Amino acid sequence: MSSKDFETLLKESVKLHGHLCPGQVLGVRLAMLGLDLLGIEDPKGKDRKSFMVLVEIDRCATDALQSVTGCSLGKRSLRWIDNGIMAATFVNLKDMTGYRIIAKEEARELSKKYCPEIEDKYKRQLEAYKKMSDEELFEVKRVKVSIPECDMPGRPMRRVQCSQCGEWVQDCREVEKDGKILCRPCAHGRYYEELQ
């Protein structure tokens, strides 16, 4: 993709995210690289059902990945894996191979070389990340991914009712415990407390 495409994609991403930051620049660049490596030319159109993205962090770059790729949690084409690592894996759904792309920590320090005149580190990183090569920003690994059938994009495979609370559970998220089908909150505890 060209620098013109980058600027257009960055503007769209900032609109979704709400502000321009280094994570937006990094996320747009990462998404462009991942799509290019997979050979995806029309991620929001004809190619939208041929790939998915597994993202390992819930920060600014994730919004950029969603904006550029068109993948989302609601479409089940964007999967969040809570590793706290600035990385994303682009998966070809035909053969489950892909590319895991990790943002290099060294890029933060390298930003001083590209924009030494900018003292504020976030502004410097923002501008430097636009100029740096993919090789300076990212480490790329060829990978094969195993995604359970219940986690694939598409319609839910099944819906079952929790025998304790009566709520409906989709996508194989039920738990069998003591011969009963339960939702995860009934089986393992809730993240919330009901108020009277």
In a domain, 15, yes or no: yes
Q: Six-digit token pair at 72? A: 């989302």
Which segments of 27-174 are extended strands (E)?
A: 51-55, 78-80, 87-92, 97-103, 138-144, 159-161, 168-170
Average pLDDT, stretch 32-39? 97
Q: Six-digit token pair at 126? A: 């923002």
| Confidence (pLDDT) at 4 | 62
Percent of the chain with pLDDT strictly greater than 70: 98
- Give pLDDT tens digits for 166-178: 999 999 999 999 9
Say whether both 173 and 126 belong to one domain.
no
Say whether both 77 and 126 belong to one domain.
yes
- Give the residue numbers spanning the domain of 178: 155-188
| Confidence (pLDDT) at 3 | 54
Band of pLDDT at residue 19, cut at 50, 70 and 90: very high
Task: Give the CATH number, domain containing residue 7.
Answer: 3.30.1330.130
Strand partners, 55: 80, 88
Say whether both 40 and 86 belong to one domain.
yes
| Confidence (pLDDT) at 196 | 85
- Give pLDDT tens digits for 113-135: 999 999 999 999 999 999 999 99
| Confidence (pLDDT) at 145 | 97
63, pLDDT greater than 80: yes
Q: How many domains does the chain have?
A: 2
| Confidence (pLDDT) at 23 | 94
R_g over Cα of the chain: 20
In a domain, 182, yes or no: yes
In a domain, 25, yes or no: yes
In a domain, 196, yes or no: no
Say whether both 146 and 163 belong to one domain.
no
Q: Six-digit token pair at 148? A: 């359970």
Percent of the chain with pLDDT strictly greater than 90: 94
In a domain, 193, yes or no: no
Question: What is the value of pTM for the model shown?
Answer: 0.91
In a domain, 100, yes or no: yes
Reported as half-sphere exposure (CB side, CA atoms, 13 A), residue 1 has a value of 25
Burial 114-131, CB ≥16 within 10 A → b, else e = bbeebeeeeebbbbbbbe
3-class secondary structure, 35: helix
5 alpha-carbon distance from chain centroid: 20
1, pLDDT greater than 80: no
Residue 10: phi, psi to the nearest 5?
-65, -40
Say whether both 137 and 159 belong to one domain.
no
- Rounded Cα distance between 64 and 116, Å, is 26
- Rounded Cα distance between 131 and 113, Å, is 11
Say whether both 172 and 137 belong to one domain.
no
In a domain, 94, yes or no: yes
| Confidence (pLDDT) at 157 | 87
Reported as half-sphere exposure (CB side, CA atoms, 13 A), residue 29 has a value of 27
Say whether both 47 and 64 belong to one domain.
yes
Say whether both 115 and 162 belong to one domain.
no
- Rounded Cα distance between 179 and 74, Å, is 31
In a domain, 81, yes or no: yes
- Rounded Cα distance between 21 and 14, Å, is 8
Say whether both 161 and 136 belong to one domain.
no
Average pLDDT, stretch 47-72? 96
Residue with the larger pLDDT of the pair 161 and 156:
161
Say whether both 36 and 105 belong to one domain.
yes
Say whether both 114 and 50 belong to one domain.
yes
